[in-house]
A and B are shown apart, each in its own frame.
Chain A
Amino acid sequence: MSHFSPTAAVSYFFNYFLMKGVLVTIGLTVAAVVGGLILGMGIALLRMSSNPVLAGAARFYIWFFRGTPLLIQLVVIYSGLPQLGIKFSVITCALVGLILNEAAYLAEIVRSGFMAVSAGQREAAWALSLSPWVTFRRVTLPQAFRLMIPPLGNSINSLLKATSLASVISVEELMRRSDMLMQEHFQILEVYAAATAYYLILTSVWDAVQRRLEKHFGRSSAAKTRRLAASAPVAQASVEARA
């Protein structure tokens, strides 16, 4: 048995059971990004609020979820909360855990993006009597978003891989289904080669999407974009700390 069978690896790659796991991984990632962005946006707004209680609550949230492992958070939600009579389905547990965790990281990315937009931009919008909504939607958000893309891309990349932790609470995503195949056939390297290929494909596709986003939102003045982007790596560093 001291050999590696490429044909077996290829057959695992095209294994229908594993492919469905890939779909679950994609679904978890997309849902966690969307949910995390919405929640993270709200937390970022609270964090930037002038009310010390709201800002403090947001700061506590971020401190808590970035300061504890996602694995513990998932296990507590899945096995711990039922002890208090709170019970969710497996997939809900995974989503709640991933969203709560991701929101903490995204909140900091969103906040750093907004803080990097100069006060002069808002003042110009006020002076033109733009409404607060138009100011946010057309002036500050697009500029903040452009600055958020690189750290956001990083965060989503690590989230995609972090969904594998949901296997521990028995969500049948890519990792879990690889485990199941492996336990059935004992072709460890072959199964994980297929899984690895899928993770690489997914992260590469996301890289390509991110590059297009950067290109699209960076279409304005090259010089200025570069200067502003220099302030983004702060958030990027904090994301990398999780991985």
Chain B
Amino acid sequence: MNETSMTTAECATAQPQFREVPAVRMEAVYKHYGDFTALDQIDLKVAKGEKIVVCGPSGSGKSTLIRCINHIEKHDEGLIYVNGVELDHQRKNIDAVRRDTGMVFQSFNLFPHMTVLENCTLAPMTANGMSEAEAKDLAMHFLTKVRIPDQAEKFPGQLSGGQQQRVAIARALCMRPKIMLFDEPTSALDPEMVKEVLETMKKLAEEGMTMLCVTHEMGFAREVADRIVFMNEGKVVEQAAPEEFFKHPKSERARTFLDQIIH
């Protein structure tokens, strides 16, 4: 388990030579729920440092797509590589991939019985064997980065939605992931809290983090994304740079989608 994470860590430090190894590579990926095809032959490559926004109507498979990347959902067919590690349902590979990826959920999923600080230190201490002091330093570093160091001793239930989501981002960052997956991070927030979370994500993007975001925030997509991936009925219908996608959507489905969400 440690061996695998060591080698991927080496890959990251030697990034220039390994440019050709994409952060994520999906080849002919399928996912079924009974008769329903959630992912229908997905081919997708994400380069290191790239920021992808995945959008599309509800039920189009966006969430399933990013949940397959860290094996929260099991894909049924096809190949998924994350930083060169194949997600082949083997425990050690799944673990290696999860160590490389951080995930932020729509419903935050903070651990309600732990303080903000404990939420952030649990994984570094138990999965990475960090000492409590080191883990606390690390957690405070990232809590400061998401601008809520003063809430460290509170419980998640005592924070606003926006604050909780920023804690969730800090918690994920404490594992020092190379790729961040965001599954509709602002959809459960009150409108006035969306901005603070998006600002945090922008900051992360500026620092060169590889990001895949499922979001309906088209302003964010326009500003931050290198590429928009538009999905419909489990398929990637089109991919383009934001400007091109918003101005000249190629598919009819993307046009109607954009008409509906951009007022």
Is A217 a contact of B113 with CB atoms below 8 Å? yes
Closest to A228 in B: B112
Contact of B101 with A by CB under 8 A: yes
Is B112 a contact of A224 with CB atoms below 8 Å? yes
- Cα(A130)–Cα(B114), bound, Å: 15
* Interface 1/0 per residue, A133-174 and B, CB below 8 Å: 010001100110010000000000000000000000000000
Residues in A neighbouring B122, C-beta threshold 8 A: 128, 130, 134, 138
Knowing A120-B105, A224-B112, the reply to whether A128 touches B155 (Cβ < 8 A) is no
Is A128 a contact of B113 with CB atoms below 8 Å? no
Contact of A121 among B111, B158, B175 (CB under 8 A): B111
Q: Is the interface of A mostly helix, strand, loop or mixed?
A: helix
The size bracket of the interface on A is 20 to 34
Nearest CB in chain B: distance from A143 CB, A: 6
Closest to A126 in B: B72
Is B105 a contact of A128 with CB atoms below 8 Å? no
Knowing A128-B172, A221-B155, the reply to whether A121 touches B123 (Cβ < 8 A) is no
Contact of B208 with A by CB under 8 A: no
Residues in A neighbouring B127, C-beta threshold 8 A: 128-131, 134
Closest to A132 in B: B91
Residues in B neighbouring A138, C-beta threshold 8 A: 111, 122, 126
The size bracket of the interface on B is 20 to 34
* Interface 1/0 per residue, A208-243 and B, CB below 8 Å: 000000000101111111000000000000000000
Contact of B95 among A124, A129, A223 (CB under 8 A): A129
Is B123 a contact of A143 with CB atoms below 8 Å? no
Is A127 a contact of B112 with CB atoms below 8 Å? no
Is B102 a contact of A127 with CB atoms below 8 Å? yes
Contact of B144 with A by CB under 8 A: no
* Interface 1/0 per residue, B148-178 and A, CB below 8 Å: 0000000111100000000000011001000
* Interface 1/0 per residue, B105-116 and A, CB below 8 Å: 101011111100
Further pairs besides A138-B122, A221-B156: 8, Cβ < 8 Å: A123-B72, A123-B105, A127-B101, A134-B122, A134-B126, A139-B111, A220-B114, A222-B157
